[in-house]
Amino acid sequence: MSVRKATIASILGATLALAQCPQVHIFGARETTAPPGYGSSSTVVNDLLAFYPGSTSESINYPACGGQSTCGDVSYANSVIAGVQAVASQVNTFNQQCPNTVLVLVGYSQGGQIFDDAYCGGGDTNEGLSSTAIPISSAALSKIAAAIFMGDPRHIPGLTYNVGTCQASGFAPRPTGFQCPYAANIQSYCDSSDPYCCNGNNAATHQGYGAEYGAQASQFVEAKVNAMLSGTSTSNSGTTTTSSVSKTTTSTGPTTTAPPTGGTAPRWAQCGGIGYNGPTVCASPWTCTYSNAYYSQCL
């Protein structure tokens, strides 16, 4: 009887979690040295939250550092590697809990780089990321409607999703001939005077993409999301796929965690969230930090 009750409780818990899922969820990743949160990706993130009532969002929890003391002296390379791992963990975890929710990625500068690496794969030898595999699960990939990269250092000329005046490469460029398998879902914004995603010398350009291209980026995302919400979307191969999305309500309640299963979670690892069954205590000196109802992380 106890096994039967436990099974019923598990089913009811899963049903409740699905009932709390939004139709649209947006991931935002900040630029180098921006404080925890969305950084300059907030322009597009906030536009989309306003456009889709009931939608939710979360920021990627990663160092966003380039060796500065203000962000823990983490090197740029190690920050990118940690960021790619955080993207995969947070996106996969959310998709497991809300498999019907449409997902959007919005990254600015280093935030664009980590989304680029995680969504398109191919590795990042500039930063020591040797694996060429896409770390986001196939299930989550099928629900990502759009990705926005602003000032992405991985920029190279000639990609079909490039927007802006840059015809050169950023400081951490993709190899010549690279093609992202999800190119049709991406827009990458970079202008020629930008010294980070291009070879310019005006740092102010790098911080101006929200004002210059924010509305355009939001419109691109909305078209992609609406296509997926309507039940049809077009893949890069030109085939039409269908998706089932039901109207849901969101929950702003506290994170629900299972009892600790023993051991501690390392820095950057997940430590809590609805449906999570792993360690809920972080290794010293890190603290389990709430991100949303489905994800807490050791920071």
Q: Which amino acid is at 145?
A: A
Task: Tell me if 109 is assigned to some domain.
Answer: yes
- Decide: residue 61, CB within 10 A, 0-12 exposed, 13-18 middle, 19+ buried: buried
Q: How much is the mean pLDDT over the chain?
A: 85
pLDDT reported for residue 270: 75
Asked if the structure places residue 150 within a domain, the reply is: yes
Report if pTM > 0.85: no
Range of the domain at 168: 21-250
Q: What is the pLDDT of residues 80-107, one digit of tens each?
A: 999 999 999 999 999 999 999 999 999 9
Given this model, what pLDDT does residue 285 score? 82
Tell me the backbone φ, ψ of residue 101, rounded to 5 degrees.
-70, 135
Using the predicted structure, report yes or no on whether residue 4 has a pLDDT greater than 80. Answer: no
3-class secondary-structure state, position 23: coil
| Long-range contacts, stretch 72-76, CB < 8 angstroms, 24+ apart | 76/32, 76/110, 76/127
Active site residue ranges:
109, 194, 206
Q: How far is CA 285 from the centre of its chain?
A: 26
As a whole number, mean pLDDT of residues 152-167 equals 98
294 domain-assigned? no
Q: Which pLDDT belongs to residue 6?
A: 47
State mean pLDDT over 101-123: 98
> Does any domain span residue 265?
no
Helix (H) or strand (E) holding 206: helix 203-206
Domain count, the chain: 1
C-alpha distance from residue 165 to each of 111, 194, 210, 215, 269 (Å): 21, 10, 16, 17, 39
The structure tokens 């969101």 sit at: 250
Q: How far is CA 58 from the centre of its chain?
A: 8
Element (H, E) at 220: helix 209-229
What count of other Cβ atoms lies within 10 Å of the Cβ of residue 37? 13
In a domain, 166, yes or no: yes
CB atoms near residue 240 (< 10 Å):
10
Domain containing residue 241: CATH number = 3.40.50.1820
What pLDDT is recorded for position 231? 77
pLDDT band at 255 (very low <50, low <70, confident <90, very high): very low
* Residue with tokens 């992202």, as numbered in its chain: 180
